[in-house]
Chains A and B, each alone.
Chain A
Amino acid sequence: MAVVALETQFHVLAVDDSLIDRMLIERLLKTSSFNVTTVDSATKALKFLGLVEDELKTFETSVASEIHQDVDVNLIITDYCMPGMTGYDLLRKIKESKSLKNIPVVIMSSENVPSRINRCLEEGAEEFFLKPVQQADVNKLKPHLMKSRTKEEQDQPLINNKRKDMEEIYSPNKTRLRCSS
C-alpha cells in the first residue's frame, strides 16, 4: 500500500438510487483520489453516518440518537430524486445533526429546477451539480473539503458565494411527482 499523507485522503459518501450513477460517481471520485463509499438510499446513508432514527418517528430529529462512529466522512454527495427519503431530506437531517452538520453536502440532480437548487443551497448544500456529473464538477470539491478541515474547531455557517444566479420560478403546474416536495 502506498503511504499517503493522512491530510490528503478524503472520504466521500455518495448516495444515489441508480446503480449506473453510483458507478459513475465512484469512478469520478476515485480518479480524484478520494476514498469512496456508495449507498443506494438516504436511509442507508444515515445509518452509515451513525445517525439512527427511531423507526416510528422518522422526521423528528430530537429523538435521533447519535451513535459515535469511527467512520470519518469528509463530504457527502447525494442525488436529489430518490424514492423514500430525498436528497433534500437527507441534507436537512445532516444539517440538523450536531455531529454531522459541518460535513459539506453536495446535491446532484438531472433536473435544472431553480427553486429546487435555491432551496438546497439555502439549506446549506455547498454545491448543486447537474447530472451527468463531470470531472470538472468533482474538481470543485477539494476546496470545500480543505475549508471544512480547517474550520473543524469553529462553528460558523459557511456562506456560499458560488450560488447559481437564478430567479426563483414557481410553477404550480409542474408536478414532478415524488420529487416535487
Chain B
Amino acid sequence: MDGLVQLQKQLVDYTASLFHEGFLDDQFNQLQQLQDESNPDFVVEVVTLFFEDAERLLNELTKTLGQPSTDFKKLDAHVHQLKGSSSSIGAHRVHRICISFRNSCEEQNVEGCLKNLQQVTHEYSLVKSKLETLFRMEQQILAAGG
C-alpha cells in the first residue's frame, strides 16, 4: 500500500517539523502516549477543549484590554488560565508568550499587554491550523486503512 506509506511518512515528517519549529513540545508526546484503544480520541478531545478554552480567553482578553481602565488583575487571571492550558497540551509558543504576557500584567504595562495579546493571538491561530492539519492527516491515514 504505497499511498498509505506515503501518508504515514508525511505525518511523521510534519509532526517532526512542528516540534522542530517549537510549535509543540514534549508535553504533546505525553498526550499521545495517553491515547490507546480504549481512549482512541483522547488527543483530539483534549486539543479541541484547548481550542474552545483559548478562544474564549482570547475574547475575554481583548474585551478587558478594550476597557478605558485596564483591570490587570482580571487580565492576569485569564492569561494564567491560557498559560496553564497551553502548557498542558504542549502548545509551546503560546505558552511562552503567556509568560511574557503575565510579566506585562505584573508591570501594569498596557502597551506591553497589547503587544502580547497580538502575539498570542497570532501564535494561537498558527498552532490551531497546524494541529488541525495534523488531525486531518491522521484521519486520511485511518481512511486509507492505517
Contacts and interface: CB of A to CB of B under 8 A. Distances in A.
A24 interface: yes
A19 B42 CA distance: 13
B30 A134 contact: yes
A135 B77 contact: no
B116 interface: no
Interface stretch (B4-12, B62-70, B85-93, B129-137): B85-93
Contacts, number: 51
Interface in A1-56: 18-21, 23-24, 27-28, 31
B30 A23 contact: no
Given A110-B83, A132-B30, A175-B106, A24 B77 contact: no
A24 B39 CA distance: 12
B34 A28 contact: yes
Could you tell me the dominant secondary structure of chain A's interface residues? helix
A20 B46 contact: yes
Contacts of A81: 80
A58 to B, nearest CB: 22
Given A27-B34, A132-B30, A178-B77, A20 B39 contact: no
Nearest to A21: B88
Given A135-B30, A135-B33, A24 B88 contact: yes
Nearest to B85: A20
B77 A23 contact: no
A127 B84 CA distance: 20
Contact of B46 (A23, A131, A134, A177): A23
Interface in B41-84: 42, 45-46, 49-50, 53, 73, 76-77, 80-81, 83-84
Contacts of A110: 80, 83-84, 87
Contacts of A178: 77
Contacts of A175: 106
Q: Which A-B residue pairs are the 8 nearest by beta carbons?
A: A27-B34, A132-B88, A20-B85, A110-B84, A132-B27, A20-B88, A20-B49, A177-B73
28 contacts: A18-B81, A18-B88, A19-B53, A20-B46, A20-B53, A20-B88, A20-B89, A21-B85, A23-B45, A23-B49, A24-B46, A24-B88, A27-B34, A27-B42, A31-B34, A81-B80, A110-B80, A110-B84, A110-B87, A131-B84, A131-B88, A132-B27, A132-B90, A134-B30, A135-B30, A175-B106, A177-B76, A177-B80
